[in-house]
Amino acid sequence: MTKKTTPTKIQQKKIPIKALSFLEELIWLFERFGVGQAKEFVSEIEQQLKGVTSANTASIGLEKYSPKNPNQLFLIGILPRIFSDESLFSSNKELAAFSKEFLKVEITHWGKRSRYELIGHIVCNVAIADDTQLETLASALKKLQHEDNSEDFLKTNLNKNMTWNDIIRILLERQ
């Protein structure tokens, strides 16, 4: 059992003082350099950071492997978690059917493979898929991602014997 640490009264009094000091320094900087120049500094720093990231990736030859498509990045991040949840996909057969229907990735011999092998196969295919294959699914899951009860929504509808096709259609109809 971990003990929750709470700030002491002295520390609580120092927080507004530190915030005030920070704001005074920030105002001084804006007065000294102007808001326009501050924006330029931020822009320059962003460009330098992008250059550092690109240089680091390129220096080890991985630039060509980095997905540029935001739908690929989103799905590569979220699909393994969804597929690992056995209350959403209880069998390899369900994973294979979903993959074929929504990602156009057909998995042969799904009955002889482990769940994690199927998930890896699907994710690797998502990484090389074009956006037309991914757009519908990514749009639906992005809408679901912003809901507080997304897991309950999925489980409830799957328990009502709704298909994934029905669930995705419902999600896409939402504003």
DSSP per-residue string spanning 17-35: HHHHHHHHHHHHHHHHH-H
Q: Where do we find the tokens 């493979």?
A: 113
**pLDDT tens per residue, range 85-134:** 998 899 999 999 999 988 889 999 999 999 999 999 999 999 888 888 78
How far is the C-alpha of 167 from the C-alpha of 153, rounded, in Å?
9
Q: Where do we find the tokens 């029905």?
A: 166
The one-letter amino acid code at 44 reads E
pLDDT, residue 140, reads 87
pLDDT, residue 18, reads 80
Residues of the chain with pLDDT under 70: 1-13, 50-63, 65, 67, 175
pTM above 0.85, yes or no: no
pLDDT, residue 16, reads 77
